[in-house]
Structure 1
Amino acid sequence: MYKVLIIEDEESIRKFVKINFERNNFKVFEAPSGEEGIKTAQKEDPQVVILDLMLPGIDGFKTCEILRSYLPNIGIIMLTAKGQDMDKIMGLEFGADDYMVKPFNPLELIARVKSLLRRIGAPKAEITNILTSGQIKIDSFSMNAYKEDKEIDLTPKEFMLLKTFMENESKAFTRDELLNIVWGYEYFGDTKIVDVNIRRLREKIEAVPSKPEYIETVWGVGYRWKKH
């Protein structure tokens, strides 16, 4: 099991990212500051660090520099503010491998971590990008989906919904959970958008959308993927 360390002072963001990594079989460690993050990294030796730029005490740049000096092979993805191009450039100069701009989609962050693990030499057998359930197959790296080996034309949000379901067979998701996972924690729109996208997804993958074989409605809760 791969280990990821999240260094982020905003607890709500930290917890949200942690949940999504744990759903993808990562062992997750947390730290609210650069100082705590460095101590945790030295103790737990994670493969990847998710590092916020704006931290109390020593900032993300200095934290990145220290982490890189102690753990030269560690993967570092820096979180930056929207539109701060200089922060991105400086982050890379201080040793970050990649960056993401807030607000970000957690599924994209996980995909970037998996890509980074491949680049830094993680064993390929441990990083699975192909998921299959019944006649449905997805490739999480290319973001392609197939039914009976025929490609399905999905929007990015439809693909993320499908991926979330297939990675969590038989788990019942509420609309709010799906909204947070697929649309992001800073999305404050109507949860009906989940129902609309579920309906469109069913039309593309179900033989009879009104009698779904894959995406089941859980009355009073939300939706779940039927195990095949």
Structure 2
Amino acid sequence: MTAENPQRGLVLVVEDEPSIADLVRLYLSRDGFGVHVERDGSAGLAAARRLRPVACVLDIALPGLAGTEICRRLREAGDWTPVIFLTARDDEVDRVVGLELGADDYVTKPFSPRELVARLRAVLRRAAGPPGGVAQPVVLGRVTVDPDRRSVTADGVPVQLTSTEFDLLAHLMSRPGRVFSREELLAAVWGYAAHAGTRTVDVHVAQVRAKLGAASVIRTHRGVGYAADG
């Protein structure tokens, strides 16, 4: 079912609890988003491929396909639409697995619908890149980040990152050698340090390093945080 209010684009919500789905749809619609709701994982995956939403809000425990499986299949197909997991599972393992699969964020039930909308808008801002002007590419070691195109290459080979992974790498590379604490990175990249655990930063750093391979420029400074060094 779809709520027609597409000023900000269409958001796909896959949630099998009607009361929660209706609440999410209400708040997203109020904020100017069009909303399409599916209650089954298989139908949700088909809708993501058919509708090309600006973002997906996925429950993890779904009939048909789990939300994590929807995300995995989208990423394997080269679809990097921003994904936020909405889940009752408060186990760190579930959160880490979701982020490792390429999700941009997660919200744990019970949740504030206003916070969910704020996080979605933050993810979309990251995906859109910085406002105004053309930012020059940044080269550090064997890695090049182009903020304007939101592209990354390592040894000249394109590297596919989620919007959050891209902003994390770009933020570190914007000040080479500067060591950022996990709390500073949460505030700068995610924008809500008070609501997120530092484990989120560690998982995203690990993902970026894995994707950059031997060309990775991210260094760990034990007891402090992370820096980008050429």
Give the TM interval when normalised to the shorter protein.
0.5 to 0.7
**For 2:47, what is the secondary structure of its paired residue?**
helix
Identity %: 38
Q: Within 5 A, what are the aligned runs for 1:72-111?
A: 72-111=79-118
Q: What letter matches 2:21 in structure 1?
A: R
Runs of 5+ in structure 1 lacking a partner?
126-140, 144-228
Instruction: For 1:67 and 1:142, locate their aligned partners in 2 and report how far apart those are by CA, in whole Å.
Output: 26
Shift of 1:27: 0.6
Q: Within 5 A, what are the aligned runs for 1:145-224?
A: none
Instruction: Determine the structure 2 residue equivalent to 1:57.
Output: 64
Match of 1:20 among 10, 18, 27: 27
Counterpart contact for 1:80–1:88, Cα < 8 Å: no
Instruction: For 1:111 and 1:122, locate their aligned partners in 2 and report how far apart those are by CA, in whole Å.
Output: 17
Instruction: Determine the structure 2 residue equivalent to 1:39.
Output: 46
User: Highest Rg: 1 or 2?
Assistant: 1
Matched, 1:112 2:123: no
Distance 1:24 1:122, change over 3 A: farther
- Calculate the TM-score normalised by the size of structure 1: 0.52
Instruction: For 1:119 and 1:56, locate their aligned partners in 2 and report how far apart those are by CA, in whole Å.
Output: 31
Counterpart contact for 1:78–1:100, Cα < 8 Å: yes
Question: Which 4+ stretches in 1 moved above 3 angstroms?
Answer: 122-125
Instruction: For 2:84 and 2:10, locate their aligned partners in 1 and report how far apart those are by CA, in whole Å.
Output: 14
CA RMSD of aligned residues (A): 2.2
**For 2:64, what is the secondary structure of its paired residue?**
coil
Counterpart contact for 1:47–1:75, Cα < 8 Å: yes
Distance 1:52 1:142, change over 3 A: closer
Distance 1:24 1:48, change over 3 A: same
Instruction: For 1:8 and 1:81, locate their aligned partners in 2 and report how far apart those are by CA, in whole Å.
Output: 11
**For 1:51, what is the secondary structure of its paired residue?**
strand
Shift of 1:68: 2.2
Shift of 1:34: 1.3
Instruction: Determine the structure 1 residue equivalent to 2:222.
Output: none
What is the number of equivalent residue pairs in this alignment?
128
Match of 2:55 among 36, 48, 56: 48
- Calculate the TM-score normalised by the size of structure 2: 0.52
Instruction: For 2:120 and 2:95, locate their aligned partners in 1 and report how far apart those are by CA, in whole Å.
Output: 17
Counterpart contact for 2:122–2:191, Cα < 8 Å: no
Counterpart contact for 1:118–1:124, Cα < 8 Å: no
Distance 1:23 1:79, change over 3 A: same
